Structure 1
Amino acid sequence: MKIDRMLEIIIYLVNHDNVSARYLAERFGVSVRTIQRDIVSISSIGIPVYAAGGKYGGYSILPTYKMKNLNIREDEQQMIRKALESLATSYTSDTLDGLIEKYNAIVEKEGGQKVFWDFGVSRENKKVQDSNRLLEKAIHNKNVVSFSYQKADGTQSQQSVEPLAIHYKWYAWYLFAYSKKRQAYRTYKIARMRDITIEERKAVRDHGDIRERMKESEKEYYRTCIAIEIHFHEKEADLMEEFFPDCAVERLPDGQCRTFIYVPPGERLWKALLLSFGDRVRVVGPEEYKADLILTAQKFLSNYDI
């Protein structure tokens, strides 16, 4: 896309002087004339690009305008790294490498810390990557999408929605969308979506600020959740906070800790996470959820001669 290319040209010129139009054309796979038009567009938005003539001439940005890494604090660099980590689980290596190259181009010149990561283990499977790309296209073009969806309890349904945003939370990627049938906003786990089809129909509803709609939807979601009280030893507090980052941990007088995790009806992932702690955690209530966890553990053990 033109905007993406212009952003990359700006970042490249910030870190290099006297870059020829021919070199930029080869780098970005376009014609020299296209680069010249891009430079005009970049200049028109207030970025002072100038051209030097001669054998070693080319495009540069005024030195007084160039970004300094001193403006990016260490804590801000950490936030950028975390954001790239999240993206890395879903996007192909070429896309991620491009993002990291842009980040490194900004910070390296002024002595900032470069980024070197290997996300081979954490990356989502190809299906989720392909689904994300398809949904991004639908969001960009404002097309309705249809798909088959499987809920946590195993039930399946056909959905037709207006896709609004893809976001990463709870160690997975989700689609935030508007369901015309239900006249409400819904969140779908992308790994549970099958047979995604981009329809010719366009989304015509004005949703306003999508971030605000997402916040409102999340508040509504938590109102439907059940609070499960968990007790555990204080040495497990860090791991519990990692697994359940939105749940406050309370220290108890006897060296124990407790937290409340909030799960929607029918969700099963919480049981897998808690069972992974073995005897280091204990469900206190509600009783039906405590009994459900015990039954799940008993069924699992019934597969073995114990």
Structure 2
Amino acid sequence: MQLILISGLSGSGKSVALRVLEDSGYYCVDNLPPSMLADAIALYHEHGHSQIAISVDTRSAPTLAALPNAIKALRALDIDVRLLYLEASTDILVKRFSETRRRHPLSNGHLTVEECIRLEREMLEHVGELGHRIDTSHLSANALRGYVKLLAGADSSRMTVVFESFGFKHGIPLDADFVFDVRCLPNPYYEEALRPLTGRDQAICDFFAGEPEVQAMEDDIRTFLATWLPRFKQDNRSYVTIAIGCTGGQHRSVYLTERLAASLADEQVLIRHRQLGGRSGDH
């Protein structure tokens, strides 16, 4: 049996994630208290459901403290339990609530939306540490749908390494475990013919192939990952996110993200290009 738990901040895309899993054949439940997980899973199993997705968030605040033990107990029963934690920057969340004119679940007539978001972050802080964090600040709904499908289909017996390119001028990804700054490298943006291209185009690859600094940066990051990724495996981590950032997230970071992901042939790798609209694929 596979159980995917969806949690995170209000407005971060939990409903989108739950709907895409429902469309993929999962039996979905919105807002189930963690204290009811074991009984609910047993019931769904009796009715022949082998793929289940459940959202858990601050609407069940009084029972959130029970979530870690509930996950541990379910895994002891050989259930494949995964937790996807969705979040976004405060300004993006405020904008989303403003555009949809929805009321924040923690609103009590006295707190501003920003204060509600800050309170919700504090309430869910320990939940975010239990699973894979996904920063949806710059993800379209379609990109999030594709990413959730990839994560749901990943082999849970292997650690998943997520490579993410981004542009520093748009902010550092909230979900990154490691951030590498490659803004010091030569920038093809200043060559007019190369400016509209991305780090996946052959002309950009050829440009970087002639730059020793780029190769040196790639070698250094690869050496770092070769040294430390095995330690994360030993620590039973399910996901590690490596973020590579340049100024705009179009050339240098994209090129190195693709190169580094391709070099980990023995790992389960997912690729996201944040400024290019989401994901590139998996290896």
TM-score, length-normalised on structure 1? 0.22
TM-score, length-normalised on structure 2? 0.23
User: Which structure has the larger Rg over C-alpha atoms?
Assistant: 1
Say which structure is richer in strand.
Answer: 1
